[in-house]
Chains A and B, each alone.
Chain A
Amino acid sequence: MNGAQHILEAFHRHNISTVFGYPGGCIMPLYDALVDDVGVEHVLCRHEQACALAADGYARASGKLGVCIATSGPGATNLITGVANAHRDSIPMLVITGQVPSGLIGTDAFQETDVLGMALGIVKHSYLVDDADELPAILEEAMELAESGRPGPVWIDIPKDILLTEVTRAAIPAKQAPAAAHADITEALTMLRSAKKPLLYSGGGVSLAHAETAFREFAEASCMPGVVTLKGIGNAGKHNPNDLGMLGMHGSRAANKAVDECDLLFVVGARLDDRATGKLDGFAPNARMIHIDADAAEINKLRPADTALRGDLNAILVSFTRALKENPLSIADWQDQCRTWCTTGGFHTADNEEALAPITGPAFIRQMSRITPDDTVIACDVGQHQMWVAQHYQFDHPRHHLTSGGLGTMGFGMPAAIGAQFADRNSTVINVTGDGSFMMNAQELATIRRYNLPVKLIVLDNQCLGMVRQQQELFYNNRESQINLDDNPDFVAMARAFDIPALHIERTDQIRRGIETLLAYDGPMLLHVAISREENVWPIVKPGGSNKDMIDEPRRNNANKEQVA
């Protein structure tokens, strides 16, 4: 068995049945081995960046390891954005690239790049294989590393000659990461019980730790009001009355108000990202903090914790739940206060019900939220539409919301939707995108068509880079610079050129029928939605500003402040 065949054998051993890739010179031995392998489905995307982003979407939706493959040189450099995206959001991913033959490394050979050096800052770990007999151990270790502790991408760069060399050494199971020591919750529990206004603040770490059920039981047992980060959306489920939604730059006034007023922050699987906290000096000024995370490096990184618990979130949350069921918290007044704030300062904008009125992003997303099944997976791109989804779509599970949180990668959505559809062929997967993001990976329409994936594509088209335009309007004296996209192609005709049917809507009375038509169609379909160029995402905190200074939509500004104050 040569190196290439050994890689496939390792995939089988680890139940990896789907990989995303693109062939080329130095990775050819692996593609040659794939010809004889019926157990691994290789998904041919149309750009290596999309391979990495599809593997990312697959991992987010399924909770399993995502795998992407590319050749050396441009194949590897094209992967970079997708791998960085996975790194920033702690997504488990195995990246395999071919490299020029060992003897040619360092000679500026055709399609040679220093992949190991190039990728250092965007991987959890990386390898350059220099001995075929090392490959079995490296593969085992890489897969273990990618999924253990705080997950992340692990990259194996393999020279072509190694792929062709007979491997004589058998695979040895990688050492399992040591189990975290049993966390003593006594101090944190005492602190929690002494708080009058405790607030649960959760992030993407909950689903990364597969701790969704433990978290939900804890949230219900504690009855704490809760806020979530962008990646934590769905943690509490859509029916939790204590959920105040997303905090931060585009969070609700209610969520940011609760953070400002609380006397204890109970942080679970969140890293206190600047988009969530705003200016740190003004963040939760009256609160002590309990920080629970899988990654020791996140504790005290940006704000000192009064007490911290590092380890398996499942075990820690179960301990808290048990204690709180025996002796619940008495925080009824604080709960009532937060629910009042949620009623008056949540994401509730008045929809224009006039049939002929132009469509707004929030109105469209709210209708979509009402019509689509609870288990629909929404893969967003980046920009205004991403924030409207975060604000107005009611998610019941964090794995239903695929969004590029840390890196903010335009072009993430369509490949991620492809990955999610491969993770579950029967689920409803919708890519909600903007006209700017759509064009970043539009070539993947061909992948959707090739595999006849029933992915639904919704393009909210305002003919500009809306989020940049909005910030130029608000913070740069309305000096618009390079945001105009009014020469966009005809997206409906474009989809049809890929043999994907498409519809266009532009009036409020067309929303429901448009979405229902999309959902009813047995196959891929695109819905092009013309929306106003002038629509902004509200509220907003000025970058670098304090969450207390959030700006509301001008016509609602005064009313909202009075209600939430």
Chain B
Amino acid sequence: MSQPRETSTPSYTLNCRMAHEAAALERLCQVVRIRGFRISRMNMESTGEHLDIALTLEGSRPIAMLQSQLEKLHTVASVDLETGARVQSCSA
């Protein structure tokens, strides 16, 4: 039996603000998944008309690609990337 392979997957934190509409979170998570990222932590607060969502994501694709796709969503007001991407070790 082969040993698990050690790989390094970059980790990022994105802070999103979006309109509080039906399926808002689903819409966000669907884009994250299809663009090749995995959500490892999520925190959401409802502030009146908005949702503030902090996403910790793992993925090997460029995070800028995901950011630009999220910014295209009509209900997304802003997407901010916390600077300083971390690299996490995980078993593949």
Q: Which A residues lie at the B interface, using CB under 8 A?
A: 116-117, 120-121, 124-128, 130, 145, 295-297, 299-301
A124: contacting residue among B62, B64, B65, B74, CB under 8 A: B74
CB within 8 Å of A: which B57-85 residues? 62, 64-65, 68-69, 71-75
* Chain B residues whose C-beta falls within 8 Å of the C-beta of A301 in the assembled complex: 65, 68
Q: Which chain B residues (30-64) contact chain A, with CB distance < 8 Å?
A: 30, 34, 62, 64
Q: Is B92 an interface residue (CB 8 A)?
A: no
Contact check, A145 vs B74: say whether CB atoms are below 8 A apart: yes
Residue of A nearest to B70 (CB): A297
Q: Is the CB of A116 within 8 A of B74?
A: no
CB-CB under 8 A from B30, the residues of chain A are 120-121
Given A296-B68, A297-B68, A300-B64, 7 new contacts (CB under 8 A): A117-B23, A127-B21, A127-B22, A145-B74, A295-B72, A297-B72, A301-B65
Is B27 on the interface with A (CB-CB < 8 A)? Answer: yes
In the assembly, what is the distance between CA of A207 and CA of B61, in Å? 31
Contact call A116/B68, Cβ cutoff below 8 A: no
Identify which of residues 5-45 in chain B touch chain A, using a CB-to-CB cut-off of 8 Å.
Answer: 21-23, 26-27, 30, 34
CA–CA, A128 and B23, complex, Å:
9
- Residue of B34, B65, B71 touching A121 (CB-CB under 8 A): B34
A121-B34, A301-B65 are known contacts. Are A296 and B71 too (CB-CB below 8 A)? Answer: yes
Residues of chain A contacted by B21 (CB below 8 angstroms)? 127
Bin the interface of chain B by size: 10 to 19
Give the complex CA separation of A145 and B75 in angstroms. 12
Residues of B within 8 A of A127 (CB): 21-22
Contact status A120-B74, CB under 8 Å? no
Given A121-B34, A297-B68, A301-B65, also A130-B74 (CB < 8 A)? no
Nearest CB of chain B from residue A88's CB, rounded to whole Å: 13
Which residues from A are CB-within-8-Å of B75?
125
Question: Measured between C-beta atoms, what is the minimum distance from B19 to chain A in Å?
Answer: 11
Q: Complex Cα distance A223/B64, Å?
A: 35
Nearest neighbor of B67 in chain A, beta-carbon distance: A297
Q: Write the residues of chain B forming the contact surface with A, with a CB cutoff of 8 angstroms.
A: 21-23, 26-27, 30, 34, 62, 64-65, 68-69, 71-75
B72–chain A nearest beta-carbon distance, Å:
5
Complex Cα spacing A120 to B22, Å: 11
Whether A128 and B74, one on each chain, are in contact in the complex, defined by CB atoms closer than 8 angstroms, is no
* Alpha-carbon distance between A130 and B71 when the two chains are bound, in angstroms: 26
Which 6 A-B residue pairings sit nearest by Cβ, starting from the closest?
Answer: A297-B68, A125-B74, A120-B30, A128-B22, A116-B23, A297-B69
Q: Tell me the bound Cα distance from A299 to B75 in angstroms.
A: 21
Distance in angstroms between the alpha carbons of A125 and B65 in the assembled complex: 19
7 of the cross-chain contacts (CB-CB < 8 Å) are A120-B26, A127-B21, A128-B23, A295-B72, A296-B68, A296-B71, A300-B64
CB nearest to A142 among chain B residues: B74
A297 to B65, CA, bound (A): 7
Please give me the residue from chain B that is nearest to A302 by CB atom: B65
CB distance from A497 to the nearest CB of B (A): 43
A120 touches B23 (CB 8 A): yes
B72 near A130 with CB under 8 A, answer no
CA of A301 to CA of B34 in the docked complex: distance in angstroms?
Answer: 14
CA distance A116 to B23 in the complex (A): 7
Q: A300 to chain B: which residues have CB within 8 Å?
A: 62, 64-65
A120 touches B72 (CB 8 A): no
**In the assembly, what is the distance between CA of A325 and CA of B21, in Å?**
50
Chain B min CB distance to A139 (Å): 15
Check A130 against B22 for contact (C-beta < 8 Å).
Answer: yes
Kindly provide the distance from the CB of B63 to the nearest chain A CB, expressed in whole angstroms: 12
Return chain A residues, CB-CB under 8 Å to B64.
300
Taken together as a complex, chains A and B put the C-alpha atoms of A186 and B55 apart, in Å, by: 38
Q: Are B27 and A120 in contact (CB under 8 A)?
A: yes
Smallest Cβ-Cβ distance to B27: which chain A residue: A120
What residue in chain B is nearest A124 (Cβ atoms)? B74
- Cα A296 to Cα B73 in complex, Å, equals 12
* Measured CA separation A121–B35 after assembly (Å): 11
Shortest Cβ distance from residue B22 to the other chain A in the assembled complex, whole angstroms: 5
Question: Could you tell me the distance in whole angstroms from the C-beta of A113 to the nearest C-beta in chain B?
Answer: 14
Please, which residue of chain A has its CB at the minimum distance from the CB of B33?
A121
* Complex CA distance for A130 and B21, rounded to whole angstroms: 11
Within the complex, the shortest CB–CB distance from A467 to chain B, in Å, comes to: 26
* A292 to B65 Cα, complex, angstroms: 17
Tell me which of A128, A295, A297 has the highest count of chain B C-beta atoms within 10 A of its own C-beta.
Answer: A297
**Most chain-A CB neighbours within 10 Å: which of B21, B69, B72?**
B72
Contacts of B26 in A (CB 8 A): 117, 120
* A297 / chain B contacts, CB cutoff of 8 Å: 65, 68-69, 71-72
